[in-house]
Structure 1
């Protein structure tokens, strides 16, 4: 019963982050699965990709309905990240758990610090540069494959800071990137990962789906800058905890 309650609570928080911020689901789901539910880092990476893919699909529909998805930009990111995500998934099985944990924390902290920096305001007529979008997408795909995360916690700041999207457009578009990158990484991990513990993953996913709808409503009540600050502080807290855990 305790495990079920933990899965439901962690899933709700994960979904809330995905719905409101367009990312952060995996960066919250992986530590929750490892530290609260006893998963190994490898199993947590695979499970989190399943959870975030399903949750992101529901959240993407809601954002698309409101016209907050830049499909061309998202597809450029996604196409560029497919091969790196698969190659990263193959490499992940050869890396020690401690190295993966530290890398995860470093990437999360870097994304948080980037979002805390003042950014130039985006404009509706901002021109998307395919080369920059493709390069950023490839990097995100590699991170997804190696670390077992959807990549939204990096996609959102990249879409805002590199390509000039407004925060809410970046949130919706980031969900598209998450889905494609996660499916690509899962394709590779499915052959090497152990059996999925559906008794935990299923309730976790169900709670995340419901939480994402609440997160979508939250996004309409909080400013884009406010969302960025919340997201960044959560990422920094998670990164610090994981580094300390490895060190001790």
Structure 2
């Protein structure tokens, strides 16, 4: 199954390069089901893979001037604080056996996988649903939506800390709708925020797990190749047109995880 895992790793990067998010949604299932890594460790690996890949991907947006550093700061700081607190204090509080219903036991790994599946289904809905997208000419809104951006940044940080997902599917709508940032700038800024969130989350909690660096480095390198491919494809393909198809794929994956973990 590992060969399929390496192939899937390319698509993690391609998704990040094309639409500025979504790749992290794939990472944990790939690690768990194709590489056989336990769920808790997979969330840790995911932070590193997504963080490094997003960092590389954001470099091309930096060169083009498509990163809003002020917004990255406003959104990123509360997100970073939340992910640090979640990885170091909230996650350790979750017991190995969360609860039991008769003979059925919900373990910590199962709980994280089900939480992740719920996040996937939510993400798929946001990608699939049709909505009117307005062309935004200015970077900043007349209204001050900074408090909302701070609040959403905190929520993204908690989710990133819990399930190892970068939260791009939440970050980009927040940047576009709340702060009125153009889509291409939102994608570049999102990659910067995702990279900071993920890498700080990884290094703040890496001492809690045993990491197989050779495997992690290999998967990350392949994902980086994917994000370079995705960044090049984004010049020719409108990522917004791919979102619905990717959303349906994520929906199927989320339902698969729930069925597999609860009934098989």
Checking the alignment, whether the CA contact within 8 Å between 1:55 and 1:205 is kept in structure 2 is yes
| Structure-2-length-normalised TM-score | 0.85
Residue in structure 2 matched with residue 200 of structure 1 by the alignment:
215
Of 228, 238, 243, the match for 1:213: 228
CA-to-partner distance for each residue in 1:41-62, whole Å, 9 max, x for gaps?
0111111111111111110001
Q: Which one has a bigger Cα radius of gyration?
A: 2
CA contact (8 A) 1:108 1:153 kept: no
1:82 offset after TM fit, Å? 1.6
Deviation at 1:40, TM superposition (A): 0.3
Normalised TM-score (structure 1): 0.90
Q: Which residue of 2 aligns with 1:222?
A: 237
What are the equivalent positions in structure 2 for 1:43-122 lying under 5 Å apart?
43-90=41-88, 91-95=90-94, 96-115=108-127, 116-122=129-135
Residue from 137, 142, 163 that aligns with 1:147: 163
Asked if the contact 2:80–2:200 (Cα under 8 Å) also holds between the matched residues in 1, the reply is yes
Which residue number in structure 2 is paired with residue 177 of structure 1?
A: 193
Cα deviation 1:18-38 (Å, max 9, x = unaligned)? 111111222111100000000
Flag structure 1 segments of 5+ consecutive residues without an equivalent.
Answer: none
Shift of 1:234: 3.2
1:86–1:187 Cα contact (<8 Å) kept: no
CA RMSD of aligned residues (A): 1.9
1:241 is aligned to 256
> How far off its partner does 1:79 sit?
0.6
1:34 and 1:235 map into 2 onto residues whose CA distance is 15
What is aligned with 1:29? 27
